[in-house]
Amino acid sequence: MKQILLGSIAFFITLACSSEVNHKITSIPEASGVSYCQNTNTLMVANDEGSFYEITPNGETIFRKKLGDYDLEGVVCNEKSIIFAVEDGYLLRVNRKSFKVKKIKIKGSNIKFSKKSGIEGIARVGNDYYLSIQSKKDKSKAKLIVVKVGTNYAKVKKIINHGILDSAGMEYYKGKLYIVSDKKDKLYIYNIKNGKVKRKIKLDKFAQEGITFDNSGNIYFADDNGAVFKYSKKELNLN
């Protein structure tokens, strides 16, 4: 019986290690967000230490840039700029050529941003940005903030309660929000129009902190333990 138990433990450890080897494309300390850049076929990866990396879809580092003492928790790559979500309640706009940084405070909300209820993810939906507010225990505090972002301002348009615990990262893709929960090790497909979770997908056990899709049928996850993982949509049974 003891041998069977030890054999089972060894099997699951081997399986977990195999999954990491098969899907890990690079190591990045405290990777907290990832976004696909359409115009360059590259990925921008943010980390909690105020740095970001541009990498290829195979995980090769193009460059690393330190922005400062910022707790970056999410990233959106646009053609000319990169928008970072900072945990304690503001955005950073970074020019992709000059790396000039513009700090933009979020106004129009009575939410008090903190370590326990800070911004954990960002996604662009049309001309607006959706920000996820983390709540690990209370579903009533698990929210999305819809923000209109201008040159020098970010104004809250509305707040949505989605009830997903520990919404640690998200991406808008083909009309739906894809939200990862580190607490649940799940990927939630959220329908913005009717405000409901359409589907839940069980993920491998790792520290999910960001998600993005490329144009070749791949999905990428930022892992807060220090990695970026790459899966095919087929592996996760996604259309």
- Contact of 210 with 227, CB cutoff 8 Å: no
Q: Which residues pair with 33 in a beta bridge?
A: 46
Neighbouring C-beta atoms of residue 148, cutoff 10 Å: 13
Report the C-alpha gap between 29 and 239 in whole angstroms: 31
Res 20: pLDDT: 60
Pairing of strands 167-173, 154-161: unpaired
Which residue in this structure is represented by tokens 């800070």?
118
- Contact of 218 with 232, CB cutoff 8 Å: yes
Handedness of CA 34, 172, 166, 142 (dihedral sign): positive
To the nearest 10°, report the CA torsion of 237, 24, 54, 120. 70
* pTM (predicted TM-score): 0.89
Res 8: pLDDT: 47
Q: Which residues pair with 156 in a beta bridge?
A: 147
If the chain, 239 residues long, is cut into consecutive pieces of 10 residues, what is the mean pLDDT of each piece?
47 47 92 97 96 98 96 96 92 96 87 72 96 88 92 92 91 96 92 94 94 97 97 92
Q: Which domains does the chain possess?
A: 23-232 (2.120.10.30)
